[in-house]
Amino acid sequence: MSALFEPYTLRSLTIPNRVWMPPMCQYSADTSGPGTGAANDWHFSHYTARAAGGTGLVIVEATAVSPEGRISPADLGIWNDTQAASLRRITDFLKGQGTVAGIQLAHAGRKASTDRPWNGGGPVGAEQGGWQPVAPSALPFEEGHHVPAELTAPEIKHIVAQFADAARRALDAGFEVAEIHGAHGYLLGEFLSPHSNHRTDEYGGSFENRVRFTLEVVDAVRSVWPEELPLFFRISATDWLDEGGWTPDDTVRLAPLLKEHGVDLLDVSSGGNAARVRIPAGPGYQVPFAARVKAETSLPVAAVGMITETEQAEKILSNGEADAVLLGRELLRNPSWARLAARELGSDVHVPQQYHRSV
């Protein structure tokens, strides 16, 4: 069996292969009435197609823990039971195909209240369904974006509780993996980085203070997430800044703390917290960040970043650079990537009975 199609067990959960789908926002949730933030037919068809294609783990897109935590008015939410119920149809189908259902719990912080990307992605006001974003410090993401309100200590505690409530609902909705979103310049990542966190209280300044909110969220989610099920954390390994930002050294330093607090795997991405930085994107460009965490800590890792080819993905795993790979844009292009890769490698993967003629 190839490394790519070897099952992977975390706690008591076994994921059938190492081809995973990362969270990718669809900006297609309902935007009005009691169904605001709920999943609909688009989400069902989108996620179930990848399960039918043999993907071992599908992580549902960044799902907001509060209305203010959405990136856009069209984001998925999980702050109420109606939203959670809308996701059950998806998790039931995924499980029926042997795919593990995961969800990313998120708060957009200062990057909230923006439009859909295909509408330009700029900030939206109240007349367009927007709201006042919040952040560790009153610093906009870039010129022209909302100036966020600086969170008070009680407000921070309230958001920690919202993450725990969201995790409870995710469990009720049938998810077996929860991922906390600490990457791409959203709220937790904003607290981690000195670029966006200029606080002088117990949540700012030193490394220990800047990671405090993250660890409080992890503790809150872990306290309600079953002991037998895994918890992931997604991180941007670097802000891609020459100075004054979050660095790969910081990521390696944080990883053991996350593990001590109950995180089972680090989903390693990069960027998103500083506007207009130069990122040397290319095939596998983020894999070295995951590889370093794996080499220098005992926390399992998943690698991302322009992983598109079967041989490329197989080598990442067989070389010990990561424990799994997450294919984003490639799975948007080809929902059956896992099935085709298994054929190339002479491995087995789940194929729906209806698709057996394609084998």
User: Annotated catalytic sites, by residue?
Assistant: 186
Q: For residues 203 and 205, what is the distance between their CA atoms, to the nearest angstrom?
A: 7
Structure-token pair, residue 244? 């004054």
The alpha-helical segments, DSSP class H, found in the chain are 41-52, 81-96, 153-172, 187-192, 207-210, 212-224, 248-260, 287-296, 310-318, 329-333, 337-345
| Rounded CA separation 86/33 (Å) | 14
CB neighbourhood size of 248 (10 A): 16
Strand partners, 9: 14
Gyration radius of the chain's alpha carbons: 19
C-beta neighbour count of 75 within 10 angstroms:
26
Number of H helices, E strands in the chain: 11, 12
**Bridge-partner residues for 265, per DSSP?**
232
Report whether 130 contacts 115 (CB < 8 A). Answer: no
Distance CA(341)–CA(17), nearest Å, equals: 11
C-alpha span between 80 and 166 (Å, rounded)? 8
